[in-house]
A and B are shown apart, each in its own frame.
Chain A
Amino acid sequence: MRLAVREALLAFRRAPMLSALSVTTIAFSLFAFGLFGLVALNIRNALQTVEDRVEIRAFIADGTGSEATAAALGDIGAFPEAASVRLVSQTQALDRARRELGEFSDVFEEGILPASIELRLKPGFRDPETVKAVAKRIEVYDFIDDIRFGEEWVEKLHRLRNIATLAGLALGLTFAVVAIIIIGSTIRMAVMARSREIAVMRLVGATNGFVRAPFLIEGFLKGTLGGLLALVLAWIALTVINRFVVQATFFDPWMGAVGVLAGACIGLAGSALSVGRHLKRV
């Protein structure tokens, strides 16, 4: 093992240009994938923010007693889909309308707006079908005058979310495949450049495992370095975007670690495949 590590490190020293080229190629392939990841992440976050605003408003008929409203509030709050539920009194509704429609605030008179129950739904229960079903369950209370949840808007949002998920998956997969092919070819080049060494190793009686080990370590190191470099490049790109275009979110540490690990794994797998194929031939 010690010898394999030494050979892997020596390979960097003996062919610094080729090693740097491999690491840079891996880094840029992962960087392209990382940029896509950043876009996907920020679109997801934006949709999440909009989705958080999906709510059902049930308007309460005038003259409804406070006990009946409180009981309904308790029942609705116990729905498995409910994230939060609150009662908006007539006064609160008026205050909100005046606040939101500043210059038209004087057109609203006392008591013109009804009180309402506002229900926000947990993530995973914001699709049109669930929202509609929950609204129906609230409608059964006889003191509910009207119920609104922006049916059309919820449907559009849901469609948008589905399209974004599908496009994200397809594009992500394409980027990942391209990255794997490019990284695989780079590593294969590095293995080919050392085919003579592999042939000599086998000639003097090295086992396949012994021949493989330094290449696997080298592939793992190149993948890890490439992954780290890609992460730095993505961070620089995001800093530029934040400064000149739009505020965007960066990967959390866990996602960053997964990215670097993915680089390491691609490097390792690429090396294993290339050396394996090469060993079959020589």
Chain B
Amino acid sequence: MIRFSHVHKRFARTGAALQDVTFQVNKGEFVFITGPSGAGKSTILKLCFFEEQPSTGEVKVYGTSSATFKPADIPRLRRRLGVVFQDFRLLEDRNVESNVAFALEVTGTAPSQIGPRVSRLLAQVGLAAKATALPRELSGGEQQRVAIARALANDPVALIADEPTGNLDERATRGIFQLFRDINANGTAVLMATHDLDLVRRAGCRTIEVNRGQIVFDSASDGGFRGPDTPDAAEDDE
């Protein structure tokens, strides 16, 4: 579903960010991307939702290839992904339900369906009682739940999360992580960048470690994971 093949990414100002990165995330998988700051975790995630394109190599996400995509393909792809950031990226002047409804309005959901769907999403993330609150009236953990509800609005096939617990305390982190596990249990793949090694150890999920722009460890390499160069790698993009 998400496949990186020999991806190199070079920025004009800062030089090489990724070097020969190859991995694949299959349907319904939960994958951590770990590594120190500046290792290239965020760049990998940005490549996943096509905010960046590789300098060389190919990124293929749910049938959209960095080698052949057209600009109009990007909105279509992003509607099939949910993206969550460390800084939540909520619209401060809209209340919780408007922030979630926004994602549905943008994608052309029928107005009659938006209300019930927003209520369900807020119930799913445990914020049904705070629908009319403004983001600044919520705790960090609650704001992140709103961001997750927004990311789930269009039933994504994969949730991409860049340090989603980076700004949260221990308790909120546990709550958010459990939410991700629940989402994953419903069949949505989760690709989560974090440097919280305790969390990674406790979770026992597949872990890809990045350092200086290269993959230095992939727990799936020991068993089960089929790299993109493997002849029998499943074409499960659609």
Interface residue ranges, A against B (CB under 8 Å): 3, 14, 196-197, 199-208, 210
Contacts and interface: CB of A to CB of B under 8 A. Distances in A.
* Chain A at the B interface: SS class: helix
A199 B107 CA distance: 15
Interface stretch (B71-79, B188-196, B210-218, B229-237): B71-79
A204 B93 contact: no
A29 B90 CA distance: 35
Interface residues of B, number: 21
Contact of B78 (A14, A196, A202): A202
22 contacts: A3-B105, A14-B93, A196-B89, A197-B91, A200-B89, A200-B90, A200-B91, A201-B106, A204-B78, A204-B102, A204-B103, A204-B106, A204-B154, A205-B75, A205-B76, A205-B103, A205-B107, A206-B106, A207-B72, A207-B75, A208-B75, A210-B106
B153 interface: yes
Contacts of A210: 106
Interface string B184-227: 00000000000000000000000000000000000000000000
A94 B90 CA distance: 90
Interface in B64-119: 71-72, 75-79, 83, 89-91, 93, 102-103, 105-107
A223 to B, nearest CB: 24
Given A14-B93, A205-B107, A200 B75 contact: no
Nearest to B82: A204
Interface in B103-151: 103, 105-107, 150
B154 A203 contact: no
Interface of B: 49, 71-72, 75-79, 83, 89-91, 93, 102-103, 105-107, 150, 153-154
A206 B218 CA distance: 34
Contacts of A207: 72, 75
Contacts of B93: 14
A24 B79 CA distance: 39
Nearest to B104: A204
A210 B102 CA distance: 12
B206 to A, nearest CB: 25
A44 to B, nearest CB: 49
Top 7 nearest A-B pairs (CB, nearest first) are A205-B79, A205-B78, A204-B103, A206-B106, A207-B75, A205-B75, A14-B93
A208 B89 CA distance: 19
A8 to B, nearest CB: 14
A13 to B, nearest CB: 10
Contacts of B103: 204-205
A6 to B, nearest CB: 9
A173 to B, nearest CB: 36
A201 B107 CA distance: 10
